[in-house]
Structure 1
Amino acid sequence: MILSHDDEGSGPAVVLLHSGVCDRRMWDEQVAALAPSYRVIRADLRGFGETPMPGERFSFADDVVALLDHLQVDRAAFVGSSFGGRVALEVAVTAAERVASLALLCPALRGLPSTPQADAFDEEEDRLLTSGDVAAAVELNVSTWLGPEASAASRDLVREMQAHAFAVQLAAEEQDPEPEATRVDVDLALVSVPTLVVSGGLDVDHFQNIAQHIADSVAGARLEHLPWAGHLPSLERPAAVNALLAEFLA
């Protein structure tokens, strides 16, 4: 299956991977800023946006590599937000030759201890979804993951993207067989490309811990702490994140 995607601009390739509460629409501002200088590829990961989630075993990282093959892209810089950051790291350790650099915005990563704050969010989201109150679960995600700098339009967009993702993923759970994602454990010692890690000062503490851990564990990684940012800084202050990405990619 080829991921639904957009391919704009020309120059060195940059792949944008969205967060778990969004889809590729979250990158509108970044595409506009980067496409004059880069070939910008943004995809909907499986179960998000326009990419379906059939009942089969799959790998998010393999899906991304298959898209690169389809587009005849040998190597690209990767920009990943949250869950997309985790997928970018998975590509970096399973297909290292395809990754030129990594910009990880409040990335996710398996293996670190959780925190009471993160556990409380997970428990409340599970409670709401189990009770069938999907609308309240959407609002919980919007209020948790967007910092105070986000505009009303950004909040509405995340609301729309998260509601769609819930609809697709909850329907997928009713399939027989269900979709089954292959687990990829990331050994950060294997990451050897230039790496920028962004942390939000208003983000959930678990993600701040992940950002620090990645920055400490990847040789030469640079940690950029944004005191004003929640979990989705590219949607909160797009111009500031665009400038940061342009400087790093250059």
Structure 2
Amino acid sequence: MILAHDDAGAGTPVLLVHAGVADRRMWEPLVPALSHAFRVVRPDLRGFGDTPLPGGEYADADDLATLLDHLDVADAVVVGSSFGGRVALELAATHPGRVRELVLLNPDLDGVAPTETAEAFDAAEDRLLEADDLEGAVRLNVATWLGPDADLSVREALAAMQRRAFDIQLAADASDDPPEPRRAAVDLEAVVVPTVVVTGAHDMDHFRHLAAYAAEHIGGAELVELDWAGHLPALERPDAVRALLLDVLRDDPTVHAP
């Protein structure tokens, strides 16, 4: 399967991998400036946005590698938000030659015990979905994952993206041939590419812990804390994240903190 995607600009390829509550639309405010200097590829993973979720086994990292092949991209700087950060790390682990640098925005990680706050969120979301209260589950996600700087238009945009993901994924899970995602184990200490890990001061404690853990275990990784940010800084203050990414991509370490 070739993931639905946008491909803009020329230069060093930059692959933007969206969060698990969003789709490739979350990057729209960043693309015009980034694509002036870089080739910006932003896909919808399976079950998000314009990419369907057929039955059977699949791996998100393999889908990204297939997309890079389709676009004749040998390797890319990979920017991943939340779940997209986890997928970016899986790509680095299973297709290491395809990743030249990582930027992880509040990344998800496998194998780290959740905090009580994270467990409470998961339980609340499960209750709402089991009760067929889709709108309630959407509201819960918007309230949980956006920080204080997100205005009404951003909250409405995230709600639309999360609702779309629920629609696709719940229908697929209820089908006679449900999807079977295959997750790859990631040894953080084996990640050898330059890595910047971003954490938001207003993010859930679980993800703040994960960001610190990733930065500690990836050799040479830089940890950048955004004192204004929640879980999705690219949506909350796109101008600041755009500046951060441009600085990282241009390799200017003196200005990595907006």
State the partner residue of 2:135: 135
Whole-angstrom distance in 2 between the partners of 1:93 and 1:21: 23
Deviations 1:202-243 (A, max 9, x none): 101110010000000011100001111100001111111111
SS at match of 2:193: coil
Query: What is the one-letter code of the residue matched to 2:136?
Result: A
Q: Percent identity?
A: 55
- How far the C-alpha of 1:175 sits from its partner, in A, is 1.7
Deviations 1:145-193 (A, max 9, x none): 0001012111111000000000000000112221001121110111101
State the partner residue of 1:177: 177
State the partner residue of 1:155: 155
Query: What is the one-letter code of the residue matched to 1:70?
Result: H
Within a 5 Å distance, the mapping from 1:1-250 to structure 2 comes to 1-250=1-250
Question: Could you list the runs of 5+ residues in structure 2 that have no partner in the other structure?
Answer: 251-258
TM-score, scaled relative to structure 2: 0.96
Query: What is the one-letter code of the residue matched to 2:114?
Result: S
Whole-angstrom distance in 2 between the partners of 1:189 and 1:33: 33
SS at match of 1:57: strand
Whole-angstrom distance in 1 between the partners of 2:33 and 2:123: 38
State the partner residue of 2:256: none
Cα RMSD (Å) of the superposition?
0.6
Whole-angstrom distance in 1 between the partners of 2:35 and 2:156: 25
Whole-angstrom distance in 1 between the partners of 2:231 and 2:183: 24
Runs of 4+ in structure 1 deviating by more than 6 angstroms, as ranges, are none
Question: Could you list the runs of 5+ residues in structure 1 that have no partner in the other structure?
Answer: none
Deviations 1:24-79 (A, max 9, x none): 00000111120000000000000000000001100000000000000000010000
Whole-angstrom distance in 2 between the partners of 1:51 and 1:64: 13
TM-score, scaled relative to structure 1: 0.99
Q: How many aligned positions are there?
A: 250
Query: What is the one-letter code of the residue matched to 1:157?
Result: A
SS at match of 1:147: coil
